Amino acid sequence: MDLELRHLKIVRAVAQAGSVTKAATHLGLAQPALTAQLKRIERVLGGALFERDHNGARPTPLGQLVLSRAMVLLPAARELQEEALRFANANADIPSYRLGATNGPILGGLMDRLATAWPSTPVSTHTSWSARELTAMVMLGRIDFAFIGACGESPPPVEGPVVWSTVGTDPVFVLLNEDHPLVDREEVELAELADEQWTVTPGDSCFGDCFATACARAGFTPKTIYETDVATCMHLAKVGRAAALCQATFQPAEGLKLVPLAGAPLRWRQLLGWHPEASSAAVATSILEHAKAAHADAIGRSRRYAGWLIQNPGLGTSP
């Protein structure tokens, strides 16, 4: 086996996390799989890279040598890839824009608006549940703009030179079966849902921790939380197996109703990110304005949310 950049990324991740278990979580790998990869890397390099015990993992002298080289080689390789992709994109004959997005209300409306405003400009899309993945794709020049969500006031992924602008800030509402006793209320207190099971779509933000904190402030610990795709979340809510946490712009299917949480204890910011040195940065202001218009359109399609905003100004589409 030859040493590759991905192997150096593993060494860096273990050193930065201070343990194999934490590094596996950060890399999205199972701990046994990462351990096996690390052993193969150590065989290639001729010795142990880390001393591991119940306190974590600390680089050996050989590990420190490899890590010092990795901290030079990895940024250099990333910069080379970024520059090459930006050069290729800047010299393309036909302008085109590549959009990446997590689950949210913006992408569909934005595509429609861009097709109307720039009918001769091709637009391609990429979707992911991971904001970190989309940020990395912007940094590497694989997409031009990323639309992600950030919980509350938490920052977006900050690694790399990506510029972020807020499109809008929405409260998190709860999706309930239409026969639920609380669905006709204008708002419900989070504490009134203490006996519910919950479902939410996956992501790599701090939303799970923020939800647990909000529940603790309301005086309870949430029961089972099912993390799954949108269709399954809706099904579980529709059959009364769970309350679904969702963005206030969400359009409920038949048999479901969207209910605001009093005081908006959970909030979700819609963010647009781009690389400031990419050729597409020249149209970032226009993309941002179209995105805000698409977000405002999504609010307008939700009478429940639009009505809630009248009584709770300060959220919604950014000015």
Length of the chain: 319
Number of neighbouring beta carbons within 10 Å of residue 299: 20
pLDDT of residue 55: 84
pLDDT (average), residues 222-248: 93
> Please, are residues 264 and 75 in contact by the beta-carbon 8 Å criterion?
no
Q: What gap in Å lies between CA 4 and CA 50, rounded to an integer?
A: 19
Q: Assign 208 a pLDDT band (cuts: 50, 70, 90).
A: confident
| Contacts of 175 by beta carbon, 8 Å cutoff, 6+ apart | 233, 234, 237, 243, 244, 245, 246, 250, 252, 256, 257, 258, 259
What is the Cα 121 distance to its own chain's centre?
27
**Whole-Å CA distances, 191 to 104, 113, 213, 240, 261:** 26, 40, 12, 18, 10
Q: What gap in Å lies between CA 270 and CA 281, rounded to an integer?
A: 19
Task: Say yes or no to pLDDT of 98 above 60.
Answer: yes
Amino acid at 312: N
Task: Say yes or no to pLDDT of 268 above 60.
Answer: yes
Instruction: Express as a percent the part of the chain with pLDDT over 90.
Output: 50
Instruction: Express as a percent the part of the chain with pLDDT over 70.
Output: 94
Reference 147, options 27, 290, 301; nearest CA is 290
| Contacts of 262 by beta carbon, 8 Å cutoff, 6+ apart | 187, 188, 189, 190
pLDDT of residue 94: 44
Task: Say yes or no to pLDDT of 93 above 60.
Answer: no
The per-residue pLDDT of the chain, averaged, comes to 88
Reference 156, options 192, 102, 94, 96; nearest CA is 102
Query: What are the structural domains of the chain?
Result: 5-88 (1.10.10.10), 94-319 (3.40.190.290)
pLDDT (average), residues 206-212: 88
Number of neighbouring beta carbons within 10 Å of residue 230: 13
pLDDT of residue 158: 67
pLDDT digit string, tens, across residues 137-159: 998 888 999 999 988 878 887 66
Q: 88: buried, middle or exposed (CB in 10 Å: 19+, 13-18, 0-12)?
A: exposed
Q: Assign 103 a pLDDT band (cuts: 50, 70, 90).
A: confident
Beta strands of the chain (E only): which ranges?
50-53, 56-59, 97-101, 123-127, 145-151, 163-177, 198-200, 225-227, 243-247, 256-259, 267-274, 316-317
Q: What spatial distance separates the first Cα and last Cα of the chain, rounded to whole Å? A: 54
pLDDT of residue 82: 64
Tokens of residue 125, six digits: 């899309």
State the pTM of this model: 0.71
125-134, 167-176, 199-208: which has the minimum mean pLDDT?
199-208
Q: 56: buried, middle or exposed (CB in 10 Å: 19+, 13-18, 0-12)?
A: middle
pLDDT (average), residues 196-225: 91
Judged by DSSP in three states, 281 sits in helix
pLDDT of residue 36: 86
Helix, strand, coil % in the chain, rounded to nearest 5: 45, 20, 35
Q: Assign 6 a pLDDT band (cuts: 50, 70, 90).
A: confident
